Copies of this chain bind each other. A is one copy, B any other.
Amino acid sequence: MTNTNEAANAFINQDIISVTQFNTQNLEYIFKRAHQMRELVERDGASDLLKGKVLACLFYEPSTRTSASFIAAMARLGGRIIPITQGVQFSSVSKGESLADTIRTLEQYSDVVVLRHPETGSAQQAADAANIPVINAGDGTGEHPTQALLDLFTIYEELGTLDNLKIAMVGDLRYGRTVHSLTKLLTLYNVSLRFVSPETLRMPLTIMNEVIDAKLEVRETHDIADVIENADVLYVTRVQKERFSDMKQYEEVKGYYEITPEIMKQAKSKMIVLHPLPRVGEIHYDVDSDPRAAYFRQVKNGMYVRMALLAAVLGK
């Protein structure tokens, strides 16, 4: 059994930059807190846990979904938000200010910073400059750790465990940041992985090697049919048009990986379908009413996980 106090202390005033900073004990703590946040919201809607705390929400590129999730998380804990989700490029930043100076300025006003930035490594750079916790809300092709945490938390909440699961990831596994981060977290558990993608969008070598080094059972395929019957989790990603030079190939691939009610008939009755959203045709709208369609519950879990993280890094 883990020591909750130790895990709690491990988060106080810490930055959340990368999935690599977590171990199973940390994750268990965050998931326990996230579950409590769910109970709190379902019972009371909100609390005053972070009353008097201020979150600077600094988004150098727009992400309605992620910023809304953090804003809702802070609001439901009674904290306040400084939203800087636009105009960044026209203001002090355009006057040539360094990211470090912008962060050092914002930390005078706030207790925690959430940063979204188009450049890989910028979150760590911000964390190095700041004396208050920095939470990475996506830095370019780098990390988006809170997305990976909410994905993992959703599996845990929906299926009650993270062990002995068969998890299939479907679609663009090459460029999809979310499947890379989730896979890294899953190497901490005893799971069996299936990677389903077109040949050109296979999981990168480095991630494959991490999976193999972790001695997880893993298998690649081009065909959903190979995995659908045994999967406990089907994690579907967007196949983005701009990845293809040949539009005909895109159209073929796109339709090939669409989850339909017909495909769902072949799946287990207790499996779940996840998707980081937004979707553009990868999951048919008729699947939404299937109780196994968990992707909107996954969105809600994002708020709970971010509530847990905000409370944890602020020591509450």
Mark A residues whose CB is within 8 Å of B: 44-47, 51-54, 56, 62-65, 68-69, 71-72, 75-76, 80-88, 90-93, 95-97, 100-102, 104-106, 108-111, 238, 277-280, 285, 296-297, 299-300, 302-303
Asked whether B82 lies within 8 Å of A72 as measured between CB atoms, the reply is yes
- Please pick, from B54, B76, B105, B106, the residue contacting A75 in the complex, using a CB distance under 8 A: B54
Cα(A302)–Cα(B105), bound, Å = 11
Residues of B within 8 Å of A86, CB to CB, are: 62, 85-87
A60-B95 Cα distance, complex, nearest whole Å = 18
Interface contact A105-B65, CB-CB below 8 Å = yes
Residues of B within 8 A of A76 (CB): 52, 54, 80
Q: Find the B residue at minimum CB distance from A238.
A: B95
Q: What residues of chain B lie closer than 8 Å to A88, measured between beta carbons?
A: 64
Can you list 9 A-B contacts with CB-CB less than 8 angstroms, sorted by A residue number? Answer: A54-B76, A62-B87, A64-B87, A64-B93, A68-B105, A92-B277, A92-B278, A95-B238, A104-B299
Contacts of A46 in B (CB 8 A): 51-54, 80
Contacts of A104 in B (CB 8 A): 296, 299
With A45-B111, A64-B87 as contacts: A97 and B54 at CB distance below 8 Å: no
17 more A-B contacts (CB under 8 A) besides A102-B278, A104-B299? A44-B52, A46-B52, A46-B54, A47-B52, A62-B87, A63-B91, A64-B88, A64-B102, A65-B92, A69-B109, A85-B86, A85-B87, A95-B238, A97-B279, A105-B278, A105-B296, A109-B300
| A73 CA to B225 CA, complexed, in Å | 52
Query: Please, which residues of chain B bring their CB within 8 A of the CB of A101?
Result: 277-279
Q: Contact between A75 and B80 (Cβ–Cβ < 8 Å)?
A: yes
* A111: chain B residues within 8 A (beta carbon): 45
Complex formed: what's the CA distance from A73 to B277 in Å? 31
Q: Which of B51, B52, B91, B296 contacts A64 (CB 8 A)?
A: B91
Contact A82 B68 (CB under 8 A): yes
Q: Is the CB of A280 within 8 A of B95?
A: yes
Known A68-B56, A71-B82, A76-B52: A277·B62 in contact at CB below 8 Å: no
How far apart are the CA atoms of A296 and B83 in the complex, in Å?
20
The chain B residue sitting closest to A94, CB to CB, is B62
Whether the pair A83, B83 counts as a contact (CB closer than 8 A) is yes
Which 4 residue pairs across A and B have the least CB separation, nearest first?
A: A46-B52, A97-B278, A45-B52, A72-B109
